[in-house]
Structure 1
């Protein structure tokens, strides 16, 4: 049977988190590099599809291709790990130190992979700067400015808004990572992953790894965005919001409602209560004899 039950999925989440936390620096960095670059591929694909069809929803429909590749190849996406590694820490199968180390090296890999792809993409679609009005390049520039200066113009309300969008985003993204565990076949995994990823991208929520490509790429292409503006008004609050959304709404909520360990510990008192009831019922019968 292709379907994997939720209690088994939670067990897989813990095991996956432990495996990620145990990765060495080389593997975390390389897998993070590839994860960042592949998600950048998917982002420009989505922008291209939206520009060609004039339908942003088409872009959202094709964007999950990148996520599928990352998951099926066992690469790293720090936003997915936000829901998985903390569960391994909770189960004492990983340490806080190993969790933070994984986050650091994977994020560094994402930044490097995104930067390399941004440079190659610009060279490819503009013929090394000879085509200045390329639609996707202009979309990236505009998006980078909106994701930073747009929030900065709102002050504290902007920070609250970007944080909320990040929470909602990674609620769906981590569900995508978890949904891949609900099927055993490749086709089942792909379909299960596709749904929540489409949901977040179509609504314009804030994803830290996408932004690790879009904003610095926009800066590289000429966007009016500063390094400080990028991190203050987007990257840091988005990372925090992604962590909160993935950990709470996917990781912890699924763990506490479906964990086999929790269910087995709850069943023990109930099982031990049964003999007691038998003894109480048997005592009057013995007295009558």
Structure 2
């Protein structure tokens, strides 16, 4: 059977977290860079499809292509390591420390950011013919996304910040479910279908993904979006990163670990020992 039961794929999650904690700096950066770049291309594709067709659901249906490809190639997103690496620490895997976990997170963040920024620059060049003309309708939409999802939150003050944070939580609840879904099957079709569903959901619902935003907002700034770098950092990227951490670790990593790796004893009563059981209904015989 291609399906992997939860008690088995939960252990694979811990194994994956341990492996990432010990990965070399070079490999961690390469894999994170490529993940950020591929996800950025997928976001650019989805926005283009949405603008050209006027149908956001079609863009959401197609966006998971990038996510699936990057995970099948063994690349890493910050949202994924937020969920997996702490499990190796919690499981007390030898050599895994808070320092090694934070090192992994920092390197993956850097690699994702560099990959996403590279694609943002490339797309800005394409959409403006090397900044020689005004951006086309796709470029204008990228600028509007940056404005509405920074200044738009700021206009609501604390309520906007809370909304942003919760969208970040919900996003990585779904994205990390997609990461885990790749471990639920040993077949390629099974992995693809498992990853596709939660990623489509998060994108269509407009949840906030820190790596996707590393592409959307810098490209929006380059294409004339009416917001600043400070707006992007304070009113999107930083709260989104925190929300992604809370969502993935709390609702995916810890829940699966606690119930499928550290499963509590069930409430089944202990079996009786047939050799010591006394038949109280049997008659008592007198001895002579």
Structures share a fold, TM > 0.5? yes
- Partner of 2:129 in structure 1? 127
Query: In 1, distance between residues paired with 2:128 and 2:274?
Result: 81
Conserved 8 A contact 2:127-2:135: no
* Alpha-carbon shift at residue 248 of structure 1 (Å): 0.8
1:171 alignment counterpart: 173
1:175 and 1:131 mapped to 2: Cα distance?
A: 42
**Take 1:249 and 1:221, find their aligned partners in 2: how far apart are those partners?**
36
Match of 2:219 in 1: 217
Q: How does 1:1-289 map to 2 (within 5 A)?
A: 1-93=1-93, 94-259=96-261, 261-262=262-263, 266=265, 273-274=270-271, 277-278=273-274, 281=277
Deviations 1:56-114 (A, max 9, x none): 00000110011001110000101011211111111012221111111111111111111
In 2, the alpha carbon distance for the partners of 1:163 and 1:103 equals: 19
Tell me which moved more, 92-101 or 197-206.
92-101
Q: Shift in Å at residue 221 of structure 1?
A: 2.1
Cα distance between partner residues in 2 of 1:131 and 1:232: 30
Unpaired stretches in structure 2, ≥5 consecutive residues? none
Deviation at 1:53, TM superposition (A): 1.1
Compute the TM-score of the two structures, normalised by the length of structure 2.
0.92
- 1:133 to partner: Cα distance: 3.7
Structure 2 counterpart SS, 1:182: coil
Between the aligned partners of 2:241 and 2:35, the Cα distance in structure 1 is: 16
CA separation in 1, counterparts of 2:271 and 2:4?
A: 32
Find the aligned partners of 1:131 and 1:55 in 2 and give their Cα distance: 27
Report the alpha carbon displacement of residue 283 of structure 1 after superposing the two structures with TM.
9.7
Bigger radius of gyration among the two: 2
Secondary structure of the residue aligned to 1:262 is coil
Q: Deviations over 1:218-275 (max 9, x none)?
A: 112222222222111111111111111101111111122222x435xx27x979x547
How many residues of Structure 1 are paired with residues of Structure 2 in the alignment?
A: 283
Q: In structure 1, what is the Cα distance between the partners aligned to 2:49 and 2:71?
A: 23
The structure whose residues are more often helix, as a share, is 1
Task: Report Cα offsets for 1:127-147 as digits up to 9, x if no partner.
Answer: 112341412111111111111
Instruction: Give RMSD over aligned pairs.
Output: 2.1
1:184-230, CA deviations, whole angstroms, 9 ceiling, x for partnerless residues?
11121111100000011011010111111111121122222222221
Unaligned runs of 5+ in 1: none
Q: Is the 8 A contact 2:32 2:111 kept in 1?
A: yes
